[in-house]
């Protein structure tokens, strides 16, 4: 696996693509099997796969969250080598950002709903860095996890607004054997936190299995009660929405997604489940 840390190295490496289909998996590092599943998907749909590891400061709304975000780069490199990733782009912050950069992209309601409401400014940081990475790597296809469903919608909107020639692929959420969605943040969970956190996936599964389009409000209420009654869990939101707009679903909505965010102890977790058809 080739490891590059500068834009110049990437440009030189991809100067002659010779018909290659470049697949791209952007990450914040602290890789787990969810990320590896994205690499595998990219390998099936590309001739060359590049993964980036960059803990992007502009998408963290809490400085403490940025500070404690795990950065096990040696372990990450080992995982990528074992899976046969072709290229790792691991730049320092100074390679991506100049001093006092300004960025704002009008992505409409997507910026302010759900995650955007609880993490104001987060999606401006996401679009800023993904646009930069797309401009550097110039991928043909980019792969993102369904666990960050709203992020996929936001990036899709950015690609549309800025006419970026890249195809986006949303890959299914990878789960532990007990149902917990894989996340780099899971390492912060105590044993008790982790056990209590299972209520998120259990509730999402219950909603999917008991879904009734004519009774969405009641199902949402029951889901909120299930999570609220779990010790050690602080619910931020549970919403059943249109899979494209993220506005509240109704009986006529075709693509329905249930999304949840909660704190298990001190660790913030998100998860979701497709109730209707996927949109990406």
Task: Give catalytic residues, as residue numbers.
Answer: 35
| Structure tokens given for 165 | 């020639």
Handedness of CA 262, 204, 26, 177 (dihedral sign): positive
> What is d(CA 258, CA 265) in angstroms, rounded to the nearest whole number?
22
Largest separation between any pair of C-alpha atoms in the chain: 58
Residue 27 falls in which region: left (phi positive, over 0), alpha (psi -120 to 50) or beta? beta
- Length reported for the chain: 280
Residues 6+ apart with CB under 8 A from 225: none
Residue 168 forms beta bridges with which residues? Answer: 142
Q: How many CA atoms are closer than 13 Å to the CA of 188, on its beta-carbon side?
A: 15
Per the structure block, which two tokens stand in for 72? 């096990």
């Amino acid at each position: 696996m080739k490891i590059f840390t500068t834009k110049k190295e990437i440009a030189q490496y991809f100067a002659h693509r010779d018909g290659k289909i470049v697949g791209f998996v952007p990450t914040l590092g602290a890789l787990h099997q969810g990320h590896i599943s994205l690499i595998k998907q990219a390998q099936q749909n590309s001739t060359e796969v590049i993964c980036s590891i960059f803990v992007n400061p502009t998408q963290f709304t809490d400085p403490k969250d940025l500070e404690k975000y795990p950065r096990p780069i040696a372990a990450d490199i080992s995982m990528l080598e074992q899976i046969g990733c072709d290229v790792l782009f691991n730049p320092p912050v100074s390679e991506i950002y100049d001093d006092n950069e300004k960025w704002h992209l009008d992505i409409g309601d997507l910026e302010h709903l759900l995650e955007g409401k609880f993490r104001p400014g987060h999606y401006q940081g996401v679009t800023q860095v993904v646009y930069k990475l797309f401009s550097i790597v110039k991928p043909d296809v980019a792969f993102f996890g369904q666990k960050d469903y709203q992020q996929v919608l936001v990036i899709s909107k950015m690609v549309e607004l800025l006419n970026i020639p890249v195809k986006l692929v949303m890959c299914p959420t990878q789960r532990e054997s007990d149902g917990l969605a894989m996340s780099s943040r899971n390492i912060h969970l105590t044993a008790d936190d982790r056990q209590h956190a299972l209520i998120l996936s259990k509730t999402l599964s219950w909603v999917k299995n008991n879904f009734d389009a004519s009774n969405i409000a009641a199902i949402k209420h029951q889901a909120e009660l299930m999570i609220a009654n779990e010790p050690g869990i602080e619910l931020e939101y549970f919403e059943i929405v249109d899979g494209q707009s993220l506005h509240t679903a109704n009986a006529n909505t075709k693509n329905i997604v249930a999304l949840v965010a909660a704190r298990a102890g001190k660790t913030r977790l998100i998860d979701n489940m497709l109730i209707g058809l996927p949109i990406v």
